[in-house]
Every structure is written in C-alpha cells, then in structure tokens.
Amino acid sequence: MKRIFTRISVLAAFCLLTINVAFAQNITVKGKVTDGGDKTSLPGVTITIKGAQGGTQTDPDGNYSISAPADATLVFNFIGYAAQEQPIANRTTINVALASSTQQLEQVVVVGYGTQRKIDVTGSVANLKGEDISKQISTNPVGALQGKVAGVSITNTGTPGGSPQITIRGSGTIYGKAGPLYVVDGVWYDDINFLNPADIASISILKDASSQSIYGIRAANGVVLVTTNKGKRGDAVINYNGTVGIQKVTNMVEMANASEYATAVNEAYALQNPPVAPLFANTNLGEGTNWYDVALREALITNHQLSISGGTEKSTYNLSLGYLNQDGIVKNNNYTRYTARLSNDFQVFEPLKIGYNVTATSSKSKDPANGIFRALYAASPVVPVFNADGSYGDPNAFNLGNGSNMNPQATLDFFNQQTTNYKITGNVFAELKFLKNFTFRTSLGGDFGQQEVRGYIPVYKASNTQQNTNSKLDIDRVENRNWIIENTLTYDKKWADHSLTLLVGQTAQRNKMYTLRADALNVPFTSNSDLYLALGDAATRNIIDEGELSTFSSYFARANYSYKNRYLLNASVRRDGASQFFGSDNVWGNFPSIGAGWVISNEDFMKNQKIFSNLKLRGSWGKVGNAGVPFNPSTQTVDQTAALIAFFGGIPYTGASIRSLVPPTLFWERSAGTDVGLEMGFFKNKLSVELDYYTRKTEQAIFDIPVLGSLGTVNSSIIANQADIQNRGFEFSATWADKADNGFSYSISGNVGINNNKVLNVTSGANPIYKGGAGLTSGYLSTRTVNNRPIGEFYGYQVEGIFQTAAEAAAWPGFKAGDFKYADVNGDGVIDLKDRVVLGNPNPKFTYGLNTNFAYKNFDLTLDIQGVADVDVYNANLSSRFGNENFTKDFINNRWTGAGTSNTYPSADLAGGLNNAPNSFYVEKGDYIRLRNIQLGYTLPQAISSKMKMQRLRVFLNAQNAVNIFGYKGFSPEVGGTPTNAGIDTNVYPLFATYNFGVNVTF
C-alpha cells in the first residue's frame, strides 16, 4: 500500500511539472450576503472560486471570509436564489445581494446528444449530480443510484467487483440483453463497472420512450447518460478523496447446532416408510461447527482517488488516478482495481474546439469458490473443520448422504480462480461553430478490453467426495474491440418569443468479440505465475475459439421548439440497421417519438395567483428497440460430439447431427411507450413535485415456445418474436429545500415508483413457459410465464396446513404425518401438477426512497432510506433438499414433531415426498426498508485550512446498509436474477454493511 501511494505522489508531482502551473498569490476577501428583496442577511450561502474546488459559507449573520487569487472570480450560490459571480479585481471587501430565482427551471440537464433546460424537457428525465453519487461510497456508480430515482429498481450484488442489476420501469425483455444502454461521454457500453464514481460529474436517466428514442435500437430497456469531470479554467486544483472501512455481514442467518441437527435428522429417518434406524446414536453433540463463522469475516475496503485539474483560456485538463482494494466477506475473496483517466479540451481558435477523454482500468479478483454460500448453508454442523490428526473433517465418516457431503473449508482451500480485466476506452472529438447558429461535432470512440478467467484444480484429497486425481488448468479469454463514430450538426436559433433547436446526426458502430477457451490436465503447480497450458499433458489439451461481429449504421434527427417559454414541442426519429439481421426483411428499423409541454405558470392568467411558482404539463410517445438478441439465432448449426463418432475399417469418423430448431428469422424487440407528467413548484420552488403516469408495451418480444421431444431436438423449445409484454405504472417525487436564519439549511427528497408487469399475449397462448432453476429447487421448476400474468411468477402448490396424524394423511396417497397438506385445487382427490397455483411475484410493485441533506455551519449530514414493497422471494436454500442438509434455527424451533405441535412448519423430513416441491411455504415476502446511507461530515473553517495551505479539508464518517428491516428468513430479500429466474435465493452473496472513515482535501 505504501508503495502504491508513493507512485501516485510521484506521478502527481510529474504532472504538475509537466503542465507548469503555479499557484497565484492569494488575498483575503470579506463581505456580507443579503436577500436582494427584503435585505435580510443570508446564512449558509456557498461561496466558491470559479474554476476551482472548495470554498466557504456565510455565518449566521451572512458574513464570510475567503482566501483567493486577486484576479479570480467568486461564485455565490444559495437554494432558491440565482447564482451570482463577482470578479475580485484586487478588492478585499465584496458585499452581495442575491435575487430570488426559479433555479430548478433553469437547471441544465443532459439529454441524448446535448443538453436542455429543465423547463424545456418534454420527456421523463432524472438527473443526479456527481456529489450525490460520491456520498454513497459505492464501488460501482450504478449502486449509488439505489433509492434516488422513481421507477428505477436496482439490485446490488455483494460480490466485490460485481455489477448491480438495474431495471428501468419494469422488465420488458426475457432473452438477450435486459439491461439499459450506458453512454459515457458519447461512447456506448453495456456496463460501467470500469468507472470510478469519483470521476462522474452527472448521471441522467432517460426513462420514457420519447427521450430514449434518439438512441433507437439500443434503448428499449432505458438509457443512462454519464458525464465525467472536466477541467476548468484557473489555477491547478489538486483533490484527494480517500476512505477506509470495514464490511460486516448483517442479518446473519442462524443455523442449527450439532445437537439440534442430529435430533432433526433422526426424526426424518423415523418418518420414512418403513422407518429407518436413527443415524445418530447420541444426539448430545453440543454446538459443533458453525460454518458461517469458519468462512466469513469482517472485510477491509479502502478506496483512494487523486485528481489534478485546471486550465487556461485556450485549454483545460483533468487527470485522475484511483485505487480500490476490497476484500470479500468470504475468506480468500478479494478485488483490486486501478483506474486512470485523462481529459483535455483545446480551444484551437474561437470557433473550433477539440478534445479527448481516455480511461484505463485494470482489475484483478480472487474469485469466491463456486457454490460456497450454498455449501455453508447445507454443511452439517457435526462435521469438524479438521480432525485431531490435521486431516479434513469428512462428512462421509458420518454417512450423511449426498445433500451434506462437503467440507466448506476444503472448498475454500483448494479453489483457485482469478479474473483479470484490462480496458482502455474513450473518445476524441472536434466541435466547430459556424454561421452564428450552427455547430458541427464529430466524435470517434472506442472500447478495447480483455478479460481472462483462470482456474486451477490441484491434485488433492480432502475426502472420498472432495478430491481430484488429475490437476487441471482452465483459461477463458474474451477480447472486445468496439468502436463508434458519430457526427452531428446542430442549428440553434432564438428570436423574439421563439426558440428552435434542430439536430441531425449519423452513427457507425462495430462490436467485435473473440473468445478463446483452453484447458489441460496434469499441469504442475509451483506458483500462480507459473501456470501454463504448455506444461500439461499434450494429449489432454483442448482449445475452442469463437467470435461475434456486429455492425450498426444509424441516422437520426430531432427538433425542439419553444414559444414564450410556455409551449414546448419535441420530435425525433432514428433509423437503425443491424448486421445480425442481414438477409431478412428486418435489417432496418424506424424509431420515432414526439413530446409536448405546456408551462401553465407562464400564462398571463397565472400571474396573480399565489399557489404555484411552477406548473407544467407534459406528454410524450415514442418507439425504441432492443438489438441485444441472442447472436445468430436464425443460423442452423450442427453438433459434432463423441457420441456421433463412427468407425469404418478401424478409422474413426466424426458424424454430425441437427438437433435443435431455429426460427426462420429473428429481429429486435420493439417497445412503444406513452408518458404523461405534471411538474409543480410551490413557495418560490422551495417545494417541487413531479408526477408521471406511463405505459410501455414491448412488442414482438423474444420468447421460447415448447416443442415436442419426439422431433429429435436437444432443446425442448424454440425462440422467436412471439410475445407482447406490458409495464404500466405511476411515479411520484417531491423535494423540499429551505434555509433558516441561524445558518441551517436542508433538503428532503422522496420518491415512489409503482409498476405492474404483465404478458399481454404470447404465441403459445395458455401454454406456459416454466423456468426457475432445475437443480436449485430440488429438480423442480418454480416459475411460470404465461399470458395475462407477470413475467416469471412463482408457481407451485398451496399449503393448507400440516398432516397431523398418519390417519389424516392416509386419505392422500404419497403423504404421511408431518408432510405439507396441499390444496386439491381441481378437486379430483389427487395432488399432482394440475393443482399448482400462483404463489407470488418476484417483480416489485413498489420502490421508494427518502434522501435528505442537512447542513449547519461547518457540519453536514446525509441520510438516505430505500425500500421495496409488494414483492416475493423464493427461499430455495431451504427447499433445495437431497438429504441431510442443515436447517435454520427458525425451522428447528418451529418444526412439526408430533400431532398438534405445528400446523405451519413441516417435519424435519423436508426431502421426503413432495415436501421440497415448490410451494407457498418457501415463497416469502421480499419487502424491506433499509438505511441505505448515513454520512456525517465536518469541514474545517476556511481560515484554518488556508493556514495549512489547503482550500478545503473535510472529514466524514459513513455507514452503508447499517439498518435493514425485513421479514424474510434469509440473509437479504434483495435477490436478482434473469426475468424468468428472478427472486430465487440460493448461493446469493450475503448482504453486508460498510462502515467508513473518509477525508476530502482540496489544494
């Protein structure tokens, strides 16, 4: 660690010498800030130096003092007032009167291929500032959005380096890419886990089809626009942001101890028909092994970022370096990431500006062992970690059977897999202004990355079931080579009461992926750096390579018109062509949109009213697409396997067989959406409210249809464009921001999103599609997708109680005392697949968040609450039973042990009969409310920090996910998954809380 910081310091010093920037002589400026109307003093006004970072605030009497260069400009900002700039010009006293403003309306937000004033936006666009993101202490910028935006559902993963799952206004895609499009400084991505959150200036989320349609074929699941930090004119500003903290598991699941486990297993054996002799002659075995204590830990996380920015009249620059080291909460798991980012803008001459942005990322992870969390749940507590002789505790010594035949410690010790990623990405651009109203911009961007997953299994023997006789080395390498060229021409004209902006553009894009998979046996191990395929047996080496290449060509146009800041019109169209549909009639697609707005508060008849400071009605309609379909799905392929080898004359000949069906053609999904919104401001916009109603219909979604096995196919289904899916909902958000005379200021924001998901129609009609993880739910399929129902709803038997006696169970063949009593839905006297019913919905109906900021003098407090309601989770950890898996303490304490003991929990024989089939007992409410983030900071008074040669010094304490309230009996109800496999909890990385101490320093 020390060596890393030494290198960063040397590099920072080198950059400072290279750009040859020196700090100017500072002077102390004092003054008072008042309200321009009633002349009262304004406490808590923020004063910053233009082009620099850091600053100060006015005291309770409106007075301030700041050290700044004599030729600098001071910027005064306060909630509800127009920002004001004051050149210092060697003055030591500057008094300022601020004028009230409709600040929210004039706010500039990033939209597709440009920016707009908030008042001019006719679609549904949410915007977050970089400072709101950086306060979340998230390692991935997407995770910081959780609870911040109405209608945006985010499921975080606990795996270090993992990417959160984001869903914007519900799921509309079942196959292919279900995530949004990310656009970072004009370059397109499927993920942004390579970005350091501290490098982000703002994030805009385009939620409705009207705002998304300018991205056409890639926008069906939403668009996230990311703008990174740029340099500003002025002297060099050096920023350091650092945190160090501990991650700790929350809501730990308590498991049965050895005595409780042995007793329950004996009970299950006694319930067999005929009864089986007890497995344990003595059940008084004490506590035994707590496998969670063995494998889990309090994990260290540290994150550092150093940036240098500044500029002159002709150029600006921004350089940042980042380092993240995150230990996983399971032992041996670690993730390290290095980031470097450099941007430069050059004003070649007055009309021409050029620049570039480059980001380089290198990461390495020691991956968690496959299935380790399932193993920790299922492992028997009677098995010791090690025997007295130092050998591994062997489950086979206890005759435990298949369900609990693992020693998790051996899994941890002999699992050796690491993943490395390298990525260089960015763009170069030129922007030319001519003929007063025209701007031409051209941009060339690229994304060049490589991921390598290297796994090694040594020769070892921990037990008869955990052993390996031949070492094996596996290497999977994926290379991405993507580029995108975009050219836009903008005409911007304002005259009299009119404002018109016209945009036309063209895009060419190519995505190329190459995959190489290789393995070899008997590779010796001396160290991780000496693992090479060439060292293995030549006869055992295998290699498979494959690739994908897709190209896109697009043309687009947009018009924005405003009259008297009252009547707004927005229209766009995009035409996309994609190579993966070559040879069909669907190579090209057209994606139009239109939006309109009426700023009612600007009407003459609203001038004398005292209720609304802003009232705006808007509506939009648009169509977008999703080209992220399975690659080459319409190409017929053949299988060549060992089973198809035939010998003629002693010579082997490899045969081939067509064993799968492909659709005659497959094209992108289309999504059409309508949005109606109402924006309101009250009390000089101290209170702002926004309401949205939307409906989004995915047309011709890709869906699979069951086919008969008698056709000779390997797969039992064929995929094609054969379904329509609807998401319909309502969004509400409100913000109250105000100040007090004693220097106290605050803002409180709340948001609620309501979404209803439904399959409108599908070619298979009432013939359902069953998914939900065979093997994860004891071989059963636990979800169903069918016409007029949500995607991937849980499906199984409805539990009506527990059979209390053998006589009661005898009336139902296959059941015994202590088993679940299922509802005979069709009344035929037999419990079979025809009696299954809907059990729950993994698609959340309600998402909400409450985000607050408080400031008093030099103290600041941020508190964020986030939650989900009306959602269900399938507890597959409990239901997945193959024999003698461990039980939770909750189950042990409530299980049926005889007539009258329980009518809700079954006996310990969970693996018997239909007890482990999907049923309502395993489906639990997934609602939760969480203290997502709380941060308390203190900024050193400017008079003190300036003496330390600092512009600003802030220290803070932060806690993330510290308080979680839910009724689910697992680690966390925050369970993701693909749309037809969502909400199934098995081997999910547990939720953890993070406690950090951090420092922000500006020089």
What pLDDT, on a 0 to 100 scale, did the predictor assign at position 849? 96
For the cut 50, the answer to whether the pLDDT of residue 13 exceeds it is: no
Q: Average pLDDT in the 391-404 region?
A: 90
pLDDT in tens, 847-888: 999 999 999 988 999 999 999 999 999 999 999 888 899 999
What pLDDT, on a 0 to 100 scale, did the predictor assign at position 17? 36
pLDDT confidence tier of residue 19, bands split at 50, 70 and 90? very low
Measured in degrees and rounded to the nearest 5, phi and psi for residue 808 equal -65, -40
Interatomic CA distance for residues 988 and 688, integer angstroms: 39
Beta 223-228 vs 181-184: how paired, if at all?
parallel
Distances (CA, A) of 802 to 832, 869, 874, 884, 905: 17, 29, 20, 21, 7
* Cβ atoms of 696 and 673 closer than 8 Å: yes
pLDDT in tens, 400-451: 988 888 999 999 999 999 999 999 999 999 999 999 899 999 999 999 999 9
pLDDT in tens, 312-370: 888 999 999 999 999 999 999 999 999 999 999 999 988 999 999 999 999 999 999 98
For the cut 90, the answer to whether the pLDDT of residue 9 exceeds it is: no
pLDDT confidence tier of residue 637, bands split at 50, 70 and 90? low
What pLDDT, on a 0 to 100 scale, did the predictor assign at position 660? 62
What pLDDT, on a 0 to 100 scale, did the predictor assign at position 156? 87
What pLDDT, on a 0 to 100 scale, did the predictor assign at position 14? 38
pLDDT in tens, 820-844: 999 999 999 999 999 999 999 999 9
Beta bridge partners of 848: 752, 867
For the cut 50, the answer to whether the pLDDT of residue 11 exceeds it is: no
pLDDT in tens, 543-575: 999 898 999 999 999 999 999 989 999 999 999
Q: 677: part of which helix (H) or strand (E)?
A: strand 669-682
pLDDT in tens, 215-243: 998 999 999 999 999 988 888 889 999 99
For the cut 50, the answer to whether the pLDDT of residue 962 exceeds it is: yes
Q: Average pLDDT in the 713-736 region?
A: 85
For the cut 70, the answer to whether the pLDDT of residue 470 exceeds it is: yes
What pLDDT, on a 0 to 100 scale, did the predictor assign at position 452? 96
pLDDT in tens, 250-276: 999 999 999 999 999 999 999 998 899
CA 541 distance to own-chain centroid: 38
What pLDDT, on a 0 to 100 scale, did the predictor assign at position 946? 81
Residue that has been written with the tokens 């139902």 in this structure: 812
Range from 362-376, 561-575, 692-706, 774-788 carrying the lowest mean pLDDT = 774-788
What pLDDT, on a 0 to 100 scale, did the predictor assign at position 643? 63
Range from 66-70, 182-186, 689-693, 916-920 carrying the lowest mean pLDDT = 66-70
What pLDDT, on a 0 to 100 scale, did the predictor assign at position 50? 83
What pLDDT, on a 0 to 100 scale, did the predictor assign at position 21? 37
For the cut 50, the answer to whether the pLDDT of residue 635 exceeds it is: yes
pLDDT confidence tier of residue 101, bands split at 50, 70 and 90? low
Interatomic CA distance for residues 565 and 120, integer angstroms: 8
Please give the mean pLDDT across all residues of the chain.
88
Residue 529 neighbours by CB under 8 Å, 6+ apart: none
- Return the closest-CA partner of residue 663 out of 763, 783, 792: 763
- What percent of the chain has pLDDT above 90? 63
Amino acid, single-letter form, for residue 989: Y
- Return the closest-CA partner of residue 372 out of 987, 877, 973: 987
Is 1 or 746 the better-scoring residue by pLDDT? 746
pLDDT in tens, 148-172: 999 999 998 888 988 899 999 999 8
What pLDDT, on a 0 to 100 scale, did the predictor assign at position 22? 36
pLDDT confidence tier of residue 684, bands split at 50, 70 and 90? confident
pLDDT in tens, 664-679: 677 778 899 999 999 9
Six-digit token string for 44: 């808590």
Six-digit token string for 388: 């007295």
For the cut 90, the answer to whether the pLDDT of residue 809 exceeds it is: yes
Is 85 or 442 the better-scoring residue by pLDDT? 442
Numbers of helices and strands, H then E, in the chain: 12, 50
pTM of the model: 0.87
What pLDDT, on a 0 to 100 scale, did the predictor assign at position 667? 77
What pLDDT, on a 0 to 100 scale, did the predictor assign at position 644? 67
Helix (H, G, I), strand (E, B) or coil at 320: strand
For the cut 80, the answer to whether the pLDDT of residue 30 exceeds it is: yes
Number of other residues whose CB lies within 10 A of the CB of residue 193: 19
* Cβ atoms of 922 and 878 closer than 8 Å: yes
* Cβ atoms of 125 and 206 closer than 8 Å: yes
Q: 343: part of which helix (H) or strand (E)?
A: strand 334-349
Q: Report H helices in 379-498.
A: 408-414
Distances (CA, A) of 798 to 840, 898, 923, 962: 11, 22, 10, 36
Interatomic CA distance for residues 210 and 123, integer angstroms: 6
- What percent of the chain has pLDDT above 70? 91
* Cβ atoms of 571 and 236 closer than 8 Å: no
Residue that has been written with the tokens 């409106």 in this structure: 62
For the cut 90, the answer to whether the pLDDT of residue 590 exceeds it is: yes
Helix (H, G, I), strand (E, B) or coil at 402: coil
pLDDT in tens, 47-62: 988 877 667 888 777 8
Decide: residue 912, CB within 10 A, 0-12 exposed, 13-18 middle, 19+ buried: buried
pLDDT confidence tier of residue 16, bands split at 50, 70 and 90? very low
Residue 111 neighbours by CB under 8 Å, 6+ apart: 121, 123, 125, 204, 206, 211, 214, 225
What pLDDT, on a 0 to 100 scale, did the predictor assign at position 70? 86
